[in-house]
Amino acid sequence: MNEGKALTPISVLITDDSALMRNLIGRIIENAEGLVVAGKAMNGRFALDKIPRLKPDVILLDIEMPEMNGIEFLKERQKLGIDVPVVILSSLAKRGAQITMDALALGASDFIMKPSGSISQDIHVVGQQIVDTVLAYGRRYRMRSGNVPVLPKEEPPVRKEEPSIRLVTEKKFTPTVIPAVSPRERDFPPAVPAEHRQRTSRVELVAMGISTGGPNALRRLFSIIDPGIKVPVVVVQHMPAGFTEEFAKSLGRVTALTVTEGAEGDLLVPGHVYIAPGHSHVTVKKQRDRATLHLSDADPVNGHRPSADVLFSSVAREYGKNCIGVIMTGMGRDGARHIGTLYNMGAITIGQNEESSVVYGMPKVAYEHGYIEYQLSIEGIADKLNSLTREFG
């Protein structure tokens, strides 16, 4: 029986007022291994009507729709106690970023940026991201709820379309596979045996790397972290440019800590959280009795800018063992290499555990290389940061 559940594709309810977008997104889902379109809805009201019958594992949701938009849908979803994860499809505009953060505050799980606005005929550009994100949230929901969706009995008739539209939807999408260890082992030096490691004598900074599943994980983390934490916190959250400023503001509404998008030359002060801008790597620099934040538009590292590895490498160079490195939910291996550098230098390292991660990728790679001193839930990470910063502050 469990084997049958594992083989049942993750079902997706696509909610968008544009028939073109519903069709293009549907093609992406249908062309992906392990996914199936449960149904489509032209607004939030139709989606609510279809959820009890279709029992989707995940909902892809546009924001701007007639009759019931995405925000209204999320409010009604809360009232009805519907816990199916929702992934927002957001536009590029600043207003879109603000509304996206409102959607996260209302319980949306994550968001994906449409490449070129509300009607994006080039949606295939983020096709792999849609597939990987939907699979991550859908699998987690399926394991937690034991949901058995009502799958379509037959393929819906294919509407004739312009050849140019068909061309951009023909690509087959294969779910990203997270290897147990990196294929490039030379990039990951052996972990220093515990008995040979230097030990932290004081904590002067907390550096964090996080990706898929990060927005809600960070909302939870900073809502329970000690508001009197006496060190600066620098966070790399993989997020598009234009969204990190609003994300920082949204985090600031759930914590007593000061949270801002990092800027060139920012002075690092205790009790302040700096979110890496979506367009730049962030590094730190210590000079005598002060430390500052610096931005770089250098090439992406591990496919990302900002990159957690760039931050961790910089922190290792400037702080050595006198810091804490935290790696949390996310796909791939960004941050895993240089949290190992921190570990080998004697810094305290913390990884999010599999049970609480949406995608146990980045922390898994670090843990399996022996670089993680404490592997904890989100609540456990908050408690550990509270106690360690008090003990070594």
Residues 6+ apart with CB under 8 A from 213: 109, 110, 136, 328, 329, 330, 357, 358, 359
Residue 21 belongs to what H/E stretch? helix 19-30
Strand 233-237 relative to strand 272-275, pairing = parallel
- What is the pLDDT, as a whole number, of residue 27? 96
- What is the pLDDT, as a whole number, of residue 1? 38
Neighbour-count burial of 344, counting CB atoms closer than 10 A to its CB (0-12 exposed, 13-18 middle, 19+ buried): buried
Which CATH number is 2-167's, of 3.40.50.300, 1.10.3720.10, 3.40.50.2300, 3.40.50.1000? 3.40.50.2300
- What is the pLDDT, as a whole number, of residue 78? 97
Q: What is the mean pLDDT of residues 43-56?
A: 98
| Token reading at 173 | 């999408």
**Could you give the angle at which helices 70-80 and 94-105 cross, rounded to 10 degrees?**
0
Among 124, 238, 272, 304, the one annotated catalytic: 238
Q: What is the mean pLDDT of residues 185-193?
A: 84
Which CATH number is 185-392's, of 3.40.50.2300, 3.40.190.10, 3.30.70.20, 3.40.50.180? 3.40.50.180
Q: Which residue has the tokens 């190992």?
A: 340
> Using CA atoms, how far apart are residues 267 and 40, in angstroms rounded to an integer?
49
Say whether pLDDT at 126 is over 50.
yes
Q: Which of 40, 215, 39 is nearest to 113 (CA)?
A: 215
Among 90, 109, 211, 307, the one annotated catalytic: 211
CA-CA distances (angstroms) from residue 386 to 16, 294, 339, 340? 43, 26, 20, 22
Say whether 211 is catalytic. yes
- What is the pLDDT, as a whole number, of residue 179? 61
Say whether pLDDT at 157 is over 60.
no
> Using CA atoms, how far apart are residues 179 and 185, in angstroms rounded to an integer?
12
> Using CA atoms, how far apart are residues 359 and 353, in angstroms rounded to an integer?
10
Query: Using one digit for the tens of pLDDT, what is the confidence trace for 197-243?
Result: 988 889 999 999 999 999 999 999 999 999 999 999 999 999 998 89
Question: Are 2-167 and 185-392 the same fold in CATH?
Answer: yes
Q: What is the mean pLDDT of residues 135-158?
A: 75
| Token reading at 179 | 């290897």
Q: Which of 321, 248, 316, 328 is nearest to 284 (CA)?
A: 316
Residue 86 belongs to what H/E stretch? strand 86-90
Say whether pLDDT at 4 is over 80.
no
Say whether pLDDT at 281 is over 70.
yes
Query: Using one digit for the tens of pLDDT, what is the confidence trace for 299-318?
Result: 999 999 999 999 999 999 99
> Using CA atoms, how far apart are residues 115 and 197, in angstroms rounded to an integer?
46
Q: Which of 304, 274, 133, 294 is nearest to 208 (CA)?
A: 274
* pLDDT level of residue 51 (50, 70, 90 thresholds): very high
Q: What is the mean pLDDT of residues 174-200?
A: 77
Phi, psi of 230 (to 5 degrees): -105, 25
161 conformational bin, left if phi > 0, alpha if psi -120 to 50, beta if neither: beta
CA atoms within 13 A of residue 384's CA, in its CB half-sphere: 18
Q: Which residue has the tokens 């279709």?
A: 54
Domain ranges, ordered by start, for the chain = 2-167, 185-392
| Token reading at 207 | 């550096």
Query: Using one digit for the tens of pLDDT, what is the confidence trace for 241-265?
Result: 889 999 999 999 999 999 999 999 9
Among 120, 314, 334, 338, the one annotated catalytic: 334
